[in-house]
Structure 1
Amino acid sequence: MSWLQRLTPPGVQKMFEKRDTPENLWVKCPVSGEMVFTKDLEAGQFVTPAGHHMRIGPAHRFKFTFDGDWTDIPLPEVARDPLKFRDDKPYVSRLTAARKKTGREDAMAIAVGSIRGVETTVLVQDFAFMGGSLGMGAGEAFLKACETALARRTPLVVFTAAGGARMQEGCLSLMQMPRTTLGVEMLKDARLPYIVVLTDPTTGGVTASYAMLGDVHIAEPGALIGFAGQRVIEQTIREKLPEGFQRSEYVLAKGMVDKVVARQDLPRVIGNLLRVMLKRPAASANAPAKVEA
């Protein structure tokens, strides 16, 4: 302790003590560079003042989508590392790190709840878990969501977010593409609505399978949607791609999606679509409204 600290009364010392500031107190908007207070960002459903839709996980997605409470559906168990794969680190280590980071077993989460009064099964893909990659766990979760919708006679709404197939599982990962397609066919045979909400990013094998097999395709503003990456395409065709290529607004203009909807409006739009598809009357004015965060 220095002589100045010894002479300074304890009460005055406390006033000038360095206080720790949480690292996530402010978030920088990738579009405008503006610093946004985290609590304000969450209150706005993680849409910045510039309109940028930030990536969110299943917990927030369920909270922003359902009318109120929801029921989580357990995911099926799958083999942890069927190929004993290793690149610069073992696949098991990558899985362990992803599970510790997200608190989830894999990239999918399933819940059943009400969207504007319509009981609905919702599947959310978490990009924070190894880029939302489609592996055995994700494939089994998709089929579980389809089976849940069939058992409860509910529509299925899927929020996609993925960089593609999980190549650490090799052909076992690629096999999930036709398997998820069979799940979609089961819903169609049962005449249950299947709506896909494409969020940033939705690419690779996910786009090549269940992400583009919906009855209706909705996209969040500015979401990256495509199969191959822009750099790969430019190198292949040896041409510069147009501004905004593979973004929601661009693919909407080309007929790849049906509608671009802001996150705050998704429950209303999805609820209206489900009522039309199920041939149910419109929600009454006295129906419970979504309580915003």
Structure 2
Amino acid sequence: MPIRRMLGSLKPTTSKHGVPKLFHEPHVETGFRHLHQPWSYYFFSLFQVHNECMNTWTHLVALWAILYRTYSFHQEFDLIGDPYMWPLCAGLITMIILYICSSFAHCFSNKSELIHYTCFMIDYAGIGLYGVGSTLLHYAYCLHDNMVNSWAHRYSGLIGVCLGLLVTICCSISKTRYSRPYPYSRRVWQLSSTLGIYIWLIYPIAYRVSLYLFNHQWDSGLGHHIHQMFWFFLGGFFFGSDIPQRFCPGKCDFLGHSHQLFHICILMTSYKQLDAVYEDIKMYSSLIRGIPVPTFMSTFGAVLITIVLNTVTVVIFRSVATRKIKDSPKD
């Protein structure tokens, strides 16, 4: 069969000594794919054992899960015809785009130095966009009635778009400004910008948690929200700690790497987030219908504006990466 022949013709992976330092990862010793191969090589490497294989598959599984949840929501709600469901539809779109961008980045990033930079800038753009989508979801469906028409409610979308763009900019700076081995300050660029938009999008949930802590006001969606917060911070731990591979270099190159665990945590964050939003839509139905009708610009428009701004950001930093590659000494 042609596919079987293609898989059989894939070059065996190499150690970290066979690729430039740009492609090295802390505590990863083996399983590196070769550079400058045809695009088909990287696509079919999905079925080869290498150190990005499970990173890609964890995102592909997440993509399938979110597509399934989107279909489930479509079966119950009118995502297009009912303007009150537009924030839900827009949020789902950002999740789908996130996992497409991240899958693409991990699958094709080894093709060349410039493709590597570009792929992960696209990945960062997807993360920023997902932050905007989560902002739309939480401020549309998860607000306690005390927050309705507050300043945070009124400016949630605008601030969300600005912070989502900031994620893309800061993470792109972290990628192009520093060279391997990366200093910890690079993580500060990444984590601080991501934490910034997370604080904003989780604010309505944190307010409800505070009501429970001080006034014992519990509701059916709050448990799911607490779960999504748990998974998010657990994912941040794995992202920033390099655990477990820092204790056993080379042993987690294919399976068990902290970045794979981070991906699983983000999948669970998304999944529990949608569980919580579903419960909140049911519980706050009358409140949701009582606020001004969502507009195209406040929902799909916010997503489109973020996509355009993030695309411009990727193009700008791609040119920065091109100059960096040109000026860098060859390994």
Instruction: Output the TM-score relative to the length of structure 1.
Output: 0.32
Q: Which has the higher contact order (CA 8 A, sep 6+)?
A: 2
Structure with max Cα Rg: 1
